[in-house]
Amino acid sequence: MRDRLILLPGWGLGTAPLEPLAEALRGLDQRLRVQVEPLPPLASSDPEAWLDELDANLPEDAWLGGWSLGGMLAAQLAARRGERCSGLLCLASNPRFVADGQWPAAMPAETFAAFRQGCAQDARATLKRFALLCAQGASDARGLSRQLLGAAPQTGADALLAGLDLLAALDGRAALQAFVGPQLHLFAGRDALVPGQAAAALLDLLPDVEIGLIDAASHAFVLERPHEVAAAIQAFLHEAGDD
């Protein structure tokens, strides 16, 4: 099923932000079957529990991709599946979301801790703040944030907190190094959640993979600039021999 692409969404905002991208990809190649799959509704922050659920429910021998948290999970699942995964697409997705001594090109740990505390106190207000951060840097940031928030599913605080703890726990560096299939990593030039240095750090870690930049775009570039992102993905699929 090398003509199938599975896309996984990011934290808290559901599948809607990825639908315009999926539609744009289908418009570029009618043979490409694009599925946007929701993240598992788990209250666990154990990465293995999430990967077990995804592995059991997603088709094999397909391209795996995702936005932000979805891309981090796709990378882990690609490494787990190995040759049973056609390739990997990570969109505004940092190998580590929270910085540590070996990977400083990420969100500072104290910033993330304050964000998590805010979610525990008022999940809805925190989700609104998150939508604003996702849209920061867009040409119409307020309109984009309203679009993100308006389509977000009603998710309980426990599930949102589990997702944040998963974000903090995931470290995709070993998985990305282990996966030998084709990889495309797209970053946004004005991303307020994934620092620009992440692209350079990833290139140092993986000098042989394809890394691209959507200039002057926000973290939510999958919704802000779906046709530009789709064109970059389609060009990569063509180069990989899957057009």
Looking only at the bridges linking them, the beta strands covering 62-67 and 4-8 are: parallel
Q: Encoding tokens for residue 196?
A: 């620009």
Q: How far apart are CA 91 and CA 193, in angstroms?
A: 12
Residue the block writes with tokens 């639908």: 19
Residue the block writes with tokens 């309980």: 156
Closest by alpha carbon to 104, among 185, 190, 194? 194
Per residue, the 3-state secondary structure of 140-179, as one string, reads CHHHHHHHHHHCCCCCCHHHHHHHHHHHHHCCCHHHHHHC
Active site residues: 68, 191, 219
Closest by alpha carbon to 161, among 89, 112, 106? 112
Tell me how long the chain is.
Answer: 243
* Phi, psi at 97, each rounded to 5°: -80, -35
